């Protein structure tokens, strides 16, 4: 039996957690071979705008810090973006407590930092009309001339390295495309393009979760059937 969900909300995001009991799936009944999923907690967080102005995400991250080795983290993303720093905090908790155990659902859009968060996850699930966009960060600095120059230089190096590790090292954009992104190019994508590039690993279609490769095959079949008519 699954325990009741716990809810914890910040200004822009909502975290739910529930304990999932041990589950046993029969692989071969005669040979008594089973696939066992141990008891764990599933954390599911609904992502809005990355724009926490009061207490930030202290209570949310404090709850996630209690995660154990088998726990998983799911993101439900419908975000136009926001503060990069806030997104990097999610990256840090994923690396520390949920390494290799993160899932993202692009429901319905992921732009800017929303796209980056989606790209950080291990399993990335989209829907037929999910919408996606990469672009470079925007910002500014105030202070004495030398301070402004030093801060902009430092921040640019850090964020460009961060974006590169997430986007280019995973082959979501090419080196040339990334260079264009840094000078102002926006990359808008729908479900088909995300599947082709490997940004999406799975698609929810007709009530089922299929792989991105399977989804692209269904599109080819539809195209062939239209031509034959």
Hey, what domains does the chain have and what are their CATH numbers? 6-135+188-228 (3.90.226), 136-185 (no CATH)
Q: In the chain, which stretches have pLDDT less than 50? A: 1-2
Residue 166: burial class (beta carbons within 10 Å; 0-12, 13-18, 19+): buried
Instruction: Report which of 89, 83, 79, 88 is spatially closest to residue 115, judged by C-alpha positions.
Output: 79
pTM for the whole structure = 0.90
First to last CA, the chain: 51
pLDDT at position 110, please? 98
Alpha carbons 48 and 32: distance in angstroms, whole number? 45
**The two three-digit tokens of residue 196, written as one number:** 């082709």
Which residues are CB-contacts of 68 (< 8 A; sequence separation ≥ 6)? 40, 41
Alpha carbons 87 and 94: distance in angstroms, whole number? 11
pLDDT at position 37, please? 81
Alpha carbons 41 and 35: distance in angstroms, whole number? 18
Is omega for the bond preceding 54 within 30 degrees of 0, making it cis? no
Place of tokens 């280019």: 168
Per-residue pLDDT reduced to its tens digit, 188-212: 999 999 999 999 999 999 999 999 9
Q: Does the CA dihedral 131-52-41-73 come out positive or negative?
A: positive
**The two three-digit tokens of residue 182, written as one number:** 């840094």
Judge whether 107 and 77 are in contact, CB under 8 Å: yes
Judge whether 79 and 98 are in contact, CB under 8 Å: no
């Amino acid at each position: 039996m699954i325990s009741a969900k716990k809810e914890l909300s910040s200004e822009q995001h909502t975290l739910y957690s529930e304990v999932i009991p041990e589950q046993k799936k029969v692989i071969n009944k005669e040979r008594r071979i089973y696939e066992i999923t141990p008891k764990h907690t599933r954390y599911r967080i609904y992502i809005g705008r990355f724009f926490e102005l009061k207490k930030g995400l202290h209570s949310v991250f404090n709850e996630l810090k209690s995660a154990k080795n088998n726990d998983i983290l799911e993101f439900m993303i419908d975000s136009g973006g926001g503060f990069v720093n806030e997104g990097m905090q999610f990256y840090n908790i994923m690396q520390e407590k949920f390494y290799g155990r993160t899932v993202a659902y692009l429901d319905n859009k992921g732009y800017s930092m929303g796209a980056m968060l989606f790209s950080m996850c291990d399993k990335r699930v989209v829907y037929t009309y999910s919408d996606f966009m990469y672009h470079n960060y925007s910002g500014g600095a105030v202070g004495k001339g030398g301070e402004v120059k030093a801060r902009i230089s430092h921040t640019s190096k850090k964020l460009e390295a961060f974006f590169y590790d997430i986007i280019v090292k995973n082959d979501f954009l090419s080196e040339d495309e990334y260079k264009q992104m840094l000078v102002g190019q926006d990359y808008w994508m729908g479900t088909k393009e995300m599947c082709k590039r490997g940004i999406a690993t799975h698609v929810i279609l007709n009530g089922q979760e299929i792989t991105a490769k399977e989804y692209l095959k269904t599109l080819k079949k539809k195209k062939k059937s239209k031509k034959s008519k």
